[in-house]
Amino acid sequence: MNMRDDPSILLPAATIAGTRYGASVLEAGNAIHDASTGEVIGWQEHADAAQVDAAVRAAHAALDAWRNRTPASRGEILRKIAELIAANRERLSSMQQKVSGKPPLEADTDVSDAIATFDYYAGLCADASHFAADTLTLPDDTVTGERRYEAVGVAALIVPWNFPMVTTAWKIAPALAAGCTAVLKPSELTSPVEHLLAEIMTAAGVPDGVVNIVNGGGEVGALLAAHPLVDKISFTGSTAIGRKVMQTAALDMKRVTLELGGKSALIVRADADIEHAVALAMGGAFTNAGQMCSATSRIIVHDDVYRKFVAALEAAVRALVVAPPHIGNVAMGPLVSHAQRARVQALVEQGVAGGATVAFSGALDAACAEGFFMAPVVIAEPDADNVLWTDEVFGPVACVKSFRTDDEAIALANDTRYGLVATVVTRDEDATRRYRHALRAGLVWINTPQLIFPQVCWGGLGLSGIGRELGVAGLRSYQELRHAITARG
């Protein structure tokens, strides 16, 4: 079905300085699906090279006026965006449930995260010290020194489909706070969410040209990243594409922030509260159907509690309600697309062919016949070189391995080139201190679910990326640090 004929959701190829532009080539675009039913619910047109160019030029033209405003006035607009997101919570949450199939609680959490992010950066804008020039004390009486943080310029923001509202808020809020203007390239699978956000930003008073959107897939992202008037690229996505983006950025020395993949560990020590450990393991592996960069899909359990833990995990996995968002008590939704499910299933087959054993799996609700659902799978004791232990799966697949000593657990957890997050479950304070430092990860959670606060930076080591989002560092990533030394008169 071609949704050009049924405009229930019809997204333009580009929104440039407040004007929507259609595709220049007939049929250049892609269908948008309801992930829970597989049904086509919309059509999104794709931008061409001229539209990408026009969007970047619009952002460039809007730059001076936006960065010359006071931070406080930019902050007022960010605060208004937060208020309007809150006022549109239902609309945003239900669109998120539709295109991704997220359970209501998860979709609602995404909305809350976006509100908190805009609120936080609105708060930073109210603190002039993050922007104002300050005087440096120098060991030379004949000169004065000045330090200032200035907007980098035009930011290209490229985001994936797994948390569209969240990853977009994490980029747009600090970029606008810093005084940058932006061109956003949402994922072609979930862009209706960002288009609602864009409406909200316009209603909140973001001037035309300050945030522009180009729609399309990787080719549109590549055109945007390569544009010579783009000063900064903030990319969230796979490590493979992150490499390409960094290579492109290198040509013009564009600034980059890369939030990439992960293969994170959850460690259950012998002293852990097993019920709590299972709850954290379930959340870490199966929230968003495992489509999380921060999925703790390598579960490492002490020998003494291994049997007890695995038995409780099996009971929890078998009881997990996998269903469309409208079914009561749903805990896990579908994968985002037919292609993503096929990719995950192929990886499981590859892992099993390579010697891994499926210990147990969950079940699908009867309402899952259509749509892109997949039951959760747990793999027991894969070899250290099995693809399911080494590679990011990005689906509802977790591996469990046992350990005897803390040294062994830390070595297993760190035996990856990624380094995004880690979780440890223990009641021992000495162990807590040791693991916090020994685990190679941007963020370590001890006995907590995957809590995220805008005050706490997000980002990884190694193949998980470069730079940090959120926090003051997230603002700084959209600023250039400049100095001046002036002779005293």
The residues annotated with a catalytic role in the active site are: 259
Nearer to ligand NAD (CB atom), residue 376 or residue 419 = 419
Nearest-approach distance from CB 164 to ligand NAD, in angstroms: 9
Go through the chain and tell me how many residues it has. Answer: 489
Instruction: Determine, following the binding rule CB under 6 A, whether residue 345 of this chain makes contact with ligand NAD.
Output: no
Binding ligand NAD (rule: CB under 6 A), the pick from 88, 202, 238, 414 is: 238
Nearer to ligand NAD (CB atom), residue 22 or residue 217 = 217
Instruction: Determine, following the binding rule CB under 6 A, whether residue 185 of this chain makes contact with ligand NAD.
Output: yes
- Total number of residues binding ligand NAD (CB under 6 A)? 30
Binding ligand NAD (rule: CB under 6 A), the pick from 161, 372, 435, 478 is: 161
Binding ligand NAD (rule: CB under 6 A), the pick from 120, 149, 389, 394 is: 394
Query: Which parts of 284-343 interact with ligand NAD (CB under 6 A)?
Result: 293
Query: Which parts of 252-281 interact with ligand NAD (CB under 6 A)?
Result: 259-262
262, HSE (Cβ side, Cα atoms, 13 Å): 32
Distance CA 44, CA 30 (A): 5
- Angle in degrees, CA 396, 400, 403, rounded to 5: 155
Nearer to ligand NAD (CB atom), residue 221 or residue 324 = 221
Nearer to ligand NAD (CB atom), residue 403 or residue 478 = 478
Instruction: Determine, following the binding rule CB under 6 A, whether residue 13 of this chain makes contact with ligand NAD.
Output: no
Identify any residues that bridge with 181 across adjacent strands, giving them in sequence order.
154
- Per-residue binder mask for ligand NAD (CB under 6 A), 198-227, x = binder: -------------------xx--xx--x--
Instruction: Determine, following the binding rule CB under 6 A, whether residue 32 of this chain makes contact with ligand NAD.
Output: no
Nearer to ligand NAD (CB atom), residue 97 or residue 257 = 257
Nearest-approach distance from CB 301 to ligand NAD, in angstroms: 24
CB atoms within 10 A of CB 228: 10
Nearest-approach distance from CB 233 to ligand NAD, in angstroms: 8
Nearest-approach distance from CB 223 to ligand NAD, in angstroms: 8
CA 110 to chain centre: 11
Q: Which residue is nearest to ligand NAD (CB)?
A: 221
Query: Which parts of 413-442 interact with ligand NAD (CB under 6 A)?
Result: 420
Nearer to ligand NAD (CB atom), residue 235 or residue 435 = 235
Nearer to ligand NAD (CB atom), residue 313 or residue 332 = 332
Region for 179 from its dihedrals, namely left if φ exceeds 0, alpha if ψ lies in -120 to 50, beta otherwise: left
Query: Which parts of 446-465 interact with ligand NAD (CB under 6 A)?
Result: 465
Query: In this structure, are residues 311 and 319 in contact, taking their beta carbons and an 8 Å threshold?
Result: no
Instruction: Determine, following the binding rule CB under 6 A, whether residue 236 of this chain makes contact with ligand NAD.
Output: yes
Nearest-approach distance from CB 489 to ligand NAD, in angstroms: 50
Query: Which parts of 373-392 interact with ligand NAD (CB under 6 A)?
Result: 392
Residue with tokens 């001076």: 64
Nearest-approach distance from CB 361 to ligand NAD, in angstroms: 23
Instruction: Determine, following the binding rule CB under 6 A, whether residue 244 of this chain makes contact with ligand NAD.
Output: yes
Nearest-approach distance from CB 154 to ligand NAD, in angstroms: 16
Instruction: Determine, following the binding rule CB under 6 A, whether residue 232 of this chain makes contact with ligand NAD.
Output: no
Nearer to ligand NAD (CB atom), residue 109 or residue 236 = 236
Nearest-approach distance from CB 115 to ligand NAD, in angstroms: 19
Which residues of the shown chain bind ligand NAD in the complex (CB under 6 A)? Answer: 158-163, 167, 185, 187-188, 217-218, 221-222, 225, 236-238, 241, 244-245, 259-262, 293, 392, 394, 420, 465
